[in-house]
Structure formats: structure tokens, C-alpha cells
Amino acid sequence: MPRLCRHTRRALDWALTIAIRAAVLLVVLPLALPLAISTVAFAESPDVAHWAFKRPVQAALPAVKSAGWARNAIDALVLAKLEVRHIEPAPEADRRTLIRRLSLDVLGLPPSPDDVARFVADPAPDAYERLVDRLLASPHFSERQARHWLDLARYADSAGYESDLPRSVWRYRDWVIGALNRDLPFDRFVIEQIAGDLLPGAAAAQVIASGFHAGAMYDPGVRWESVLDQVSTTGTVFLGLSVGCAQCHDHKFDPVSQREFYALYAFFDSAEISPFELAAPAEKTARDALQARVDALKKKRTDYEAALKQSLAAWAGGLSSDERSKLPPPAQAALPTTGGEPSAESVSNLLAARAASDPQFQAMCREIDERTKEVPLLETTLTMRAEPRETHLFVRGNHEQPGEVVAPGVPAFLHPLPHADQPTRLDLARWLVAPENPLVARVTVNRIWQRYFGSGLVETENDFGVQTPAPEHQDLLDWLACEFVARGWSLKAVHRLILCSATYRQSSHARPDLQAIDPTNRLLARQRRLRVEAEIIRDLALAAGGLLSLKIGGPSVFPYEPEGVLDGRATKATWTTSPGADRYRRGLYTWTWRLTPHPMLALFDAPDASMACTRRDRSNTPIQALTLLNDPTFVECARRLARRVLAQEAGDHRDRLARTYQICFSRDPRPDEADVLLRLLEVEISELRADADGARQIAGELPPEADAAELAAWTVVCRAILSLDEFVTRE
């Protein structure tokens, strides 16, 4: 790669950055000065001395000896620390590894063999950067990143709790995808999700964005639990603080008092989760007219029922003894002969019995039923809606013990809330992304970093509180955080910076030389191999089998699910496998019943959507192995991959195997690897030639003129390949 070109590009990059920063500084400085003065007042408190509670500063970049290695500021900061310890960075991964790594990280999709070949052969010095740009521009980038964000939003398609009723909030999911795709500046991204409904003249899309909190678990009977969760989630996601700890008592470590917790609570307490109608005004008007007709009929029936009640005694008196005995026992209790004053309950039972036998009343009921059916159910999505309330602190966190009244407010150790008589969620949202907030940019870039290196620069990605010491790479974290804000809160700019760094491009192979010094890779002298997430594992298998539907957005879908998952629910839930290509949509579109999650997703550490999940585990279990080998979806993918390879590749078995490896691993098999698989293939072919039934069972539905034994043997091979560690791992 010619050096000049890269350097020129970098110089241009930096010049631009500096220009933007200068401009930002001009605007921010006058605002920041009074703040700086007010901060001095806090300087005594040890809490404020905590590194993460001070605003990040973009320090000058250190001088490094191997300047040729560093491609951008990230690298200079990483390299400086390595050089102090006389550690060389790991070599750059080869291009095949790089394109697969990038594709899995950025899109969650495998690169096609053609993409790989093109990239490997691309002689242009900026081939890598162009690839990054192409991937960041792909709409699938935003699907991949949206799933990460939905983990924070504890997004699901049902309400949770015992009843776990279905509801519609997928428009919010699609809003996230769209916003990330057009790189909506992160400050606006946050404001619209916390308080889009309160924006002056809010557009429908901005109201939909408030599904961030509205789409979480919700039961109106325990509404306060949702509000508590909204406060905790806001603290975790935007501040990296466990404010939820202050629900019952002052925070044990961080400077958040219980009172301050409820001051935050007050913002969310003054809101209702409500369905927002997405229909056009004309549709709503038409619906309202039909509903008004039903309401009028109901009013008429109520009046008629009142008249029936008036004459109830007379009616009962006129009944024959036979007719009386046929009344339901609870109604008989109200008959005049019983003596005494009949209870209200028995009277209403008697009235019901009369109404049931009154033709006119019954006709009214029928008409109401029919007219009700004509009222269309307009599509809705869950959103927040302002609903002012007086908030009381919960004594010891117990909602049954309301304490003093608390006004909305923010923790005193952080920057002050701009003055407002009655601050709202919108004020809180703006406060969260105010330039003075020392946390939000750090926490956000740290989470992005975590996606690309397996853990954040701050390992406790959800706790930047006083318990968390300054990380090894605080300078890098702060540099990125400042850069993020300076580049207009552009998420894509942060992604690009990280992806283009030499640090990211390093090989992920273990380094025995660093095992003792840096076992957890805090120094970043290599990349890491990472098992991909639950949804992506399935996406990769479907892609290998040529089955994956790349349709973006829309209502959630129902892929294959084993029987029995929904058994025994208190409320009915259904799972009818989606027809056609919708069975093979990407994992993030799979319908989620919170109470009865899809077992494949739960097995591979997909979060349960009860609380914000800021980091998924990557567990590695026998049940996962059984799933990759035997789950009907994966078996189907193996069959389709076999068919695909046989159809596409005219050469011999070795050529076909190479093709399979290119599809699955973006590389050719090593000769010894190929030998092992070809040996398996040959044994299988010869056995299956003699076992037509076995061949048919393995190959499944046969394409016309297929050689069943060959297809079956290839299915055996492909199933093994899809179960390899490398297949589910981004290297």
C-alpha cells in the first residue's frame, strides 16, 4: 500500500476534524464557561474527582516510533502504550479474514465469494477503506446495529408478565433501523426515543421513536414497575450508571440519592404508555363515524335496559311457576315470592334473565355486534404520551409506601438541568445529550468498541460509576468520545474510525508471548475471535444455504419453532410458521413472545427482553451443539448448501469443497482440511449408493435428476461444516 496516499488521506481526515472542532469550540465555549465555573464549586467532592464524571478532553496525540503502523489516532494511542512495554502489535489479518470480519461485524452477513475475490484482488491502496464505506452504506448495516440497540430497548412483540399479550411495536424497530441507516445524529436519536412525543409539532416518526421505553415489559396493574425500569434503563444506557440501585436507598457507591432516583422517576411517571394510531386522518375519521354509530346504539340499549328494570317486578309477577323454575338459580333469588329485600346481585341476574328472553333487546345486541365488527381496528404502535402526575418517593423502594412528593430533576453531581418551571421528559432527553454530559458520549463509543473487540475499553460497559477505575485506555476512550461529538454525533463516523484503524485490522490469533502480561487483551495488541450472536448464527446458516430473505422491516415473522414451546400459557399464543420467504427472514424479525422465547435464540444468549442488556454472553454448550447439528432449520440449510454447491460448481469434489469453504469461510480449505472432508464424502457416497432410503432421508426433497446418494453425502459434509467453530465465529 503506497504510503503517501494513505498519509495524504489521513492528513485530510485530520484537517477536517480540526476544522470541525474549531467551529464547535467557537459555539460551545461561551456556553461552557459559566459551566466550568459552576463545576469548580463541586471540585471538593471526591465523587466529582472520579474520572468518568469529568468531561472528556481530547489530548494531543502521543509521538510513536513505528509511525508507519498507525493509520489514525486510535492507533497512535494504542501503539504508544505498546511501545512503552516493548510490545509489537499483531500483524494485520489477511484480506479474506478481514472481509469476513468486516461483513459479520458490520452487516451480520457473510461476504459472497465474488466479493471476497474482488477485494483480495483489488490493487487500490484504499481498497479496505472503500470496502468499509460500502458496508457502512448498506441498509443491512443498520439492521445489524439495530439489533444491538434493541437489546437496550428490551424490545419484544408481547407485553410480558403472566398474560404476555401480543402488541404492536415493530414500527419502533423499523424506526431504529431507518434512523441508523441515515445516520441520524445520536443526540437527536436519543431525544426522539426518550421524548419524541413531546417535541413541538412532533412528526409521526418522532412519536414512534418513543417506543424505546414504551415497548418494554408492561402491565397496567403494576405500572410503577415499568417506570422503575425506565429510570434504570435510562441510567444504564445513556449514563452508564446503575441508578436503579437508588430505588430503595441512597446509592452505596455513586452520588445518587434515593430522592434523586425518584426525581428521575418523576419524569417518566408523568407519562402513559399508549397505542399511537398510524392511520391517515381520513381513515381515522371514517373509523370514528362508525364507532359513534356503535356508541349511539349502545346508549339506546342502555336506556331500554333501564326501562326493563323499571318494570322488572311486574314482569316477574306475570311469570308462570314453570317459567320461574326455569330461571337460573341466582336469578330466582330475586323473585318476589322469596320474601325479604332481594340482593342487588340477584336483581341484576333476574334482569339479565329477562333481557335474554326479550326479542327487542336481543335484536339490539345483534345489531351492536354487527356494527362493532364494521369498525376497523387501525394499526397502532406503542408510544409514550404525556400524563401529568404527582410523584411520591417510595419509602424503602416499596410502592405501597408513598413518601414525600418529588419534583422532576437530575442528580446534583452531574450538570444542571436547564431551568424550567415544570421540567419534562423532553428536558431530560436534552439534558442527557447536552455537551456538558461527561458520560453519554463515552458510554456510547465504549459500547461500539465492545462490538468490535469483544469487550469495551471500559470493561464494565454498564458501570462508569466510582467503583470503576479509569481504564487502561482512557485517553483513547476520551479521544473517541470527543471525536464523536465533534463529528456531529455521527455514529457512522465512529464506526468508520474504529473499522479503519490498524488496531481493528490485527490478527485475532492468540499470542502466547502476551499470555502472562496481558491475558485479557487490555493493551489491544491483537484482535479477538468472537462467536457471533444468536440471530446471526441462523442468518449465516440461511445465507450459506441460499435461503436467507434480505427483506428489510415490516411486521415480525414466525420462522420454524419446535412444538410445545407455547404450551401451558395462561393466555393463548399462536405460532403459525410464516409462508414463503418470510420463514427465512433475518433473526431480528423473529416474533418474540417474552414469556415463551424462541428456544434457539434463548440458547445462544439472546436477551430475555426483561431488562436492558448491554452485553450478551457468548456461552458454548452441548445443547447449542445439538441445535447446530439437528435443528430442522440447520439441517435444511445443510441440504440447501449441498444443492447449491452441486448446482454451481461443475468441477470435481475438490473444487466443490473449495466453493463450499468460500461460501462458509471466505477462504479455500487447506489441503489437509480438504482431505479430511473428501474422505468423509467418499465414504458417505459409497455407503449411500447402497442405501437408497438413507440417501433420500438425508437429502430430503430431491431436485429433478438429482443423484440422491451424492446429494445426501454432500449434505452430510455440509452439515459438518455448518457445525464448525469457525462457521459461527468471526475471526
Partner 1 sequence: MCDSGHDLRQTRRQFFGTSALSLAPLALASLLDEAGAHEAHSAGAGPFAPRPPHHAPRAKRVIFLYMVGGPSQIDLFEPKSALVERDGQPIPESYLKGIKFAQIQEKQPRLMGSPWRFARHGQCGADVSELLPHTATVVDHLSIVKTMKADDTNHAFAELQMNTGWRRFGRPSMGSWISYGLGSESRDLPGFTVLLSGMRPRSKSANYGNGFLPSAYQGVPLRATGDPILNLSSPAGFTPKRERRTLETIRALDAARFDVTGDPEIAARISAYEMAFRMQTSAPRLLDLSSETAETLAMYGIADAARPTFARNCLLARRLVERGVRFVQLFHGDWDHHSHIASGLPDQCRQTDQPAAALVKDLAARGLLDETLVIWGGEFGRSSVAQGPKDANVGRDHNIDAFTMWLAGGGIRPGQTLGTTDELGCFAAGDSFHIYDLQATILHLLGLDHERLTYRFQGRDFRLTDVYGNVIEKLLA
- The region of 136-144, 156-164, 175-183, 349-357 touching partner 1 under the rule CB under 8 A is 156-164
**Residue 343 binds partner 1 (CB under 8 A):** no
Of 558, 713, 696, the closest CA to residue 645 belongs to: 713
Compute φ and ψ for 380, nearest 5 degrees: -130, 165
Of 522, 529, 601, 524, the closest CA to residue 558 belongs to: 601
Of 205, 527, 125, 578, the closest CA to residue 381 belongs to: 205
Question: Per the structure block, which three cell numbers stand in for 378?
Answer: 387501525
**Residue 594 binds partner 1 (CB under 8 A):** yes
For partner 1, the binding residues in 161-180 under the rule CB under 8 A are: 161-162
For partner 1, the binding residues in 214-243 under the rule CB under 8 A are: 217, 225, 232, 236, 240-242
**Residue 675 binds partner 1 (CB under 8 A):** yes
For partner 1, the binding residues in 519-548 under the rule CB under 8 A are: 529, 531
Q: What does the per-residue mask of binding to partner 1 show for 478-517, with x meaning CB under 8 A?
A: ------------------------------xxx-x--x--
- Min separation Cβ 688 and partner 1, Å: 9
- Min separation Cβ 455 and partner 1, Å: 13
**Residue 672 binds partner 1 (CB under 8 A):** yes
Q: Residues 568, 579, 580, 704: which binds partner 1 (CB under 8 A)? A: 568
**Residue 159 binds partner 1 (CB under 8 A):** no
How many residues comprise the chain?
Answer: 731
Amino acid code (one letter) for 615: R
State the Cα–Cα distance between residues 115 and 666, nearest whole angstrom. 9
Question: Per the structure block, which three cell numbers stand in for 412?
Answer: 446534583
The nearer residue to partner 1, 378 or 680, going by C-beta atoms, is: 680
Q: Residues 143, 157, 463, 539: which binds partner 1 (CB under 8 A)? A: 463
Classified as helix, coil or strand, 158 is: strand
For partner 1, the binding residues in 266-325 under the rule CB under 8 A are: none
**Residue 91 binds partner 1 (CB under 8 A):** no
The contacts of residue 279 (CB under 8 Å, 6+ apart) are: 287, 378, 379
Kindly give the residue spans of alpha helices, DSSP state H, lying in 122-169. Answer: 127-137, 139-152
Number of other CB atoms surrounding residue 147 within 10 Å: 23
The nearer residue to partner 1, 382 or 677, going by C-beta atoms, is: 677
Of 614, 619, 454, the closest CA to residue 530 belongs to: 454
Q: Residues 244, 438, 456, 471: which binds partner 1 (CB under 8 A)? A: 244
The nearer residue to partner 1, 302 or 619, going by C-beta atoms, is: 619
- The region of 13-21, 280-288, 348-356, 696-704 touching partner 1 under the rule CB under 8 A is 696-704
- Min separation Cβ 281 and partner 1, Å: 39
Radius of gyration for the alpha carbons in the chain, expressed in angstroms and rounded: 32
Burial letters 239-248, b for 16+ CB under 10 A, else e: bbbbbbbbbe
The nearer residue to partner 1, 120 or 680, going by C-beta atoms, is: 680
State the Cα–Cα distance between residues 263 and 405, nearest whole angstrom. 9
Of 216, 225, 227, 231, the closest CA to residue 269 belongs to: 227
Q: Residues 68, 317, 469, 562: which binds partner 1 (CB under 8 A)? A: 562
End-to-end CA distance of the chain: 23
**Residue 578 binds partner 1 (CB under 8 A):** no
- Min separation Cβ 440 and partner 1, Å: 16
**Residue 684 binds partner 1 (CB under 8 A):** yes
- Min separation Cβ 451 and partner 1, Å: 18
- The region of 11-19, 358-366, 376-384, 626-634 touching partner 1 under the rule CB under 8 A is 626-634
**Residue 561 binds partner 1 (CB under 8 A):** no
**Residue 329 binds partner 1 (CB under 8 A):** no
The contacts of residue 175 (CB under 8 Å, 6+ apart) are: 205, 208, 209, 211
**Residue 255 binds partner 1 (CB under 8 A):** no
